[in-house]
Each structure stands twice: as structure tokens, then as C-alpha cells.
Amino acid sequence: MVTKNLYTISLVAAVTLFSAACTATKPQEMASAKTDVNIPKNIIMVVSDGMGPAYTTAYRLYKDDPNTPAVELTALDPFLVGMAQTYPAPVSGYVTDSAASATALAAGIKTYNGAIGLDVDKKALESVLQRAKKIGKKTGVAVTSQIVHATPAAYIAHNESRNNYNELADSFLDDRINGKNVADVMLGGGWNYFIRDDRNLVAEFKALGYQYADSYTDLLALPKGKPTLGLFADKGLPKALDDSNPHRLSVLTESAISHLENVNGYFLLVEASQVDWAGHANDIASAMSEMEDLEQTIKLLKNYVDLHPDTLVILTADHSTGGLTIGADGDYRWSPEFIQNMKASVTMMSEKMMDEEDMALYVEDVFGFALNDDEKNRISGISIDMTPRARESVLKSVLDKRTNTGWTTSGHTGIDVEVYAFGAGAQAFAGNLNNIDIAKKIFELLGDVE
């Protein structure tokens, strides 16, 4: 308990000092007075899509060692500096989608839900990635969704609808041809949108000098420091619980950095995309495995900043998803031990269990705990006539009941999200922020185009 109290006191003191530094420094001074503000050479923006405060709390408890009296901190906890408001432009009310929030984080302007890099009048906005490119830095994205999904697209492209995936993919290539500011490194999913009957964008990128990889192994074997396109799935990557590497985001992040490093520095967007997808699915096991992938990435980035102190890392969420509750139905309990030994996601299980002679025995093996009679009966009642989603729902209901996890929605919620920062210039991101402030502060650190 003494350790916890000391941590709380030190964290409050750190946030206070960070806030004072931000208040004392005027915006025009941030871009010019390098003696007053630590200006980063490299900026790494990490977005954990859908990660509201309940996710970080749940993950801390999920990783806790029950044999010690204290709840151990995660790799994220020491770098908490503030909170951010997430609401979109008034035309879309108070609850944002990922496109509007990503545009706010990337360009510093509130917009309507669904907009990619456009304001409410559908005028194109400059993103921090594009500004970084203008001033001579290399730029990249590394995500676990398809690279044309809302968050990465908002940093690279402009489109009136986030759902225009083929148009967004086309713009990635066409903007590059036209000399616009497109990323030098793009890693994630998206074969469906880049290799189509009407156009093979992969071949066109290769003709422009990009090297290409379609497996993690091939990616790691590519020469460093070159423009790189890496696509590893039809759409998003497999869930962390099902992927060949459960820490694939850290692999993509480390690889992206190795291709971006140069004397002028770089801007890299990293997105833990599938925290959000787990929230939409009300899938607590997948949510925690995606959070673990994020934590491994933060550990990697902390080690990198230790060796490269001219690097800034910012971590936040675009919104919260699912209305996650740890402790439900008036029961003062949360029991994460029932999801700590999962061997596969409920999505994968719902597909494979129909081939099993004893479905209950199969579920026990993959869950990692013995089912009670009621749970066995419910599992045995699953039939081939049920949709995969219905089968998943039965499996998730067992896990929710065992862990005492609650959900309020399959969509987004409008709550504030946490902001974490470390490295050069981290003090600028402390306090109670609006999400557009994050982009504005990055613009200030990048400075004006000469």
C-alpha cells in the first residue's frame, strides 16, 4: 500500500508540473524557443482504438500477480499525464466515431462522423503526418486493421466517407504519384483493397520503388531504410489470440521504425486497432489480449526512447467502445483468471467447435477451466443451424458470467479517454485536453513549413 500511495503522489506531482509547463509556454514560443521546450526529432503517435479507462483498469487487474498484496502497474501506467475529450462536431452530437476522432487527432479540427481528413464543409485538412512529410521527415503507419481503416486513413488521405475503402486505397497510390504527402511505410492488413480485379495497387507501389512484404517473416528480411508496403491479411490482421505472433503490433512497430530512421527524423502512427473491435463484439478475452499486444509495444517504445531521447511517444484512444464494466449486476467482483489461459478467440472457437465430437470438452480445453453442469448444457445446445455470431454469443456469455464482466452497448460511448506521453516534449500533453489539442501540440512541435 505504501508503494501505491507513493506512486499516486508522484503521479499527481508529475501531472501538476506538466500542466504548469504547458501553461507557462505560449504556442508561438513552442515552435521557436528550443531552449525552453524539448523539441523531438521523432514523433510516434500511438492510438489504441476504443480504449476507454475501463480497459486500462481491467488490463492492470488481468496482469496482476494474485500472490502479492499490491496490484502491479502495467507498462502504460507510469506515463499517464492527462485525459482527452472525444466529442465530434456538433452536427454529429456528443458520441464520436473513429473517423471523426482520428481526423481530430490527426488534423486538430472537429468534424462529422465518417469524415476522413475533411472538415464539416468537406474541405481537405492537413494532418500532422503530412506536415511532418513537408518539413523533410519520413512518415509511416503500423496498424492491426486494414491500412485504409478510419484511423490510418485520416492521417494519410481525404474522403467524405470512411467506408470508401477502394477509393482510399487508390488515393494512397495516386497521391504519391502526384507528389503529395503519403506515408513512406505502411504496414497492416488490406489485400482486398490493394489487389483487386480492376487494379493491382501492390504492383503499382512496387513500380514506384516500394519494397513489399505479405508475411511477418518476409517483412523482417527486407532491407532497412527503404519505402515499404506490408499487407498481411485480406482486411484486418487475425486477432491477437489467433495470430501466429500474438505481439504482432510490436513487430510491425519495430520494423516501421527501422525503415523510417534517418537524419531528419520521422513521424509514425501506430494503432492498436482491434481493442475497438473486441469492444464492439463485447469480447473480454480478445480485449485483454489486444491490450497485452499494446503493452508489449509500449515496452518496446520505452526501450527505444531510452536509447533515442530525442523521440516523443504519445498514447491515447480515439473513444471508448462497448461500455465495458468490470463488476456487473451488483456483484462486487471481477475474476480475470477465467480468461488468462485462453488458447484461441471465441470467433475461432465458434468455427472449430462444430467439428468436435464433444464440444464441451473442446471448450474446456481452449478456455482453460472446467465447465459446470449449466455451462456444459449450454455448450451442448449449440447446433450447426446457429449462426457463427450466435455460437460466439454463447461462449462470451459463459466468460462474462465467470469473470463478472458487463457491457452497455455494442457501439461507442462518449466518455473521456486517457493520455499518456514520454520522451522529448512529453510535458506538452499533460492536463485536461480536447482531442484536437493533441494534433495542435504536435503541429507546434513540428513547426512551420519553411
Q: pLDDT (tens digit, 9 = 90+) per residue, 59-114?
A: 999 999 999 999 999 999 999 999 999 999 999 999 999 999 999 999 999 999 99
The answer to whether residue 440 sits within a structural domain is yes
The answer to whether residue 180 sits within a structural domain is yes
- Quote the pLDDT of residue 284: 98
Q: Are residues 310 and 380 in the same domain?
A: no
pLDDT tens for residues 18-36? 344 434 444 444 333 333 3
- Quote the pLDDT of residue 450: 62
The answer to whether residue 413 sits within a structural domain is no
Number of domains observed in the structure of the chain: 2
* CATH value at residue 146: 3.40.720.10
The answer to whether residue 408 sits within a structural domain is no
- Quote the pLDDT of residue 440: 98
Three-class DSSP labels, the chain: CHHHHHHHHHHHHHHHHHHHHHHHCCHHHHHHCCCCCCCCCEEEEEEECCCCHHHHHHHHHHCCCCCCCCCCCCCCHHHEEEEEECCCCHHHCCCCCHHHHHHHHHHCCCCCCCCECECCCCCECCCHHHHHHHCCCEEEEEEEEECCCHHHHHHHCCECCCCCHHHHHHHHHHHHHCCCCCCCEEEEECHHHHECCCCEHHHHHHHCCCEEECCHHHHHHCCCCCCEEEECCCCCCCCCCCCCCCCHHHHHHHHHHHHHCCCCCEEEEEEECHHHHHHHCCCHHHHHHHHHHHHHHHHHHHHHHHHCCCEEEEEECCCEECCCEECCCCCCCCCHHHHCCCCCCHHHHHHHHHHCCCHHHHHHHHHCCCCCHHHHHHHHCCCCCCCHHHHHHHHHHHHHHHHCEECCCCCEECCCEEEEEEECCHHHHCEEEEHHHHHHHHHHHHCCCC
Domain housing 13: 2-324+420-446
- Quote the pLDDT of residue 30: 39
Q: Are residues 24 and 123 in the same domain?
A: yes
The answer to whether residue 330 sits within a structural domain is no
Q: Are residues 307 and 372 in the same domain?
A: no
Q: Are residues 283 and 155 in the same domain?
A: yes
- Quote the pLDDT of residue 401: 98
Q: Are residues 310 and 340 in the same domain?
A: no
Question: Could you confirm whether 171 is annotated as catalytic?
Answer: no
Q: Are residues 26 and 73 in the same domain?
A: yes
* CATH value at residue 392: 1.10.60.40
The answer to whether residue 411 sits within a structural domain is no
Q: Are residues 437 and 389 in the same domain?
A: no
The answer to whether residue 345 sits within a structural domain is yes
- Given 19, 32, 48, 98, which residue is catalytic? 98
- Quote the pLDDT of residue 130: 95
Q: Are residues 347 and 394 in the same domain?
A: yes
* Mean pLDDT on 245-269: 98
Q: Are residues 295 and 340 in the same domain?
A: no
Q: Are residues 204 and 274 in the same domain?
A: yes
Q: Are residues 384 and 293 in the same domain?
A: no
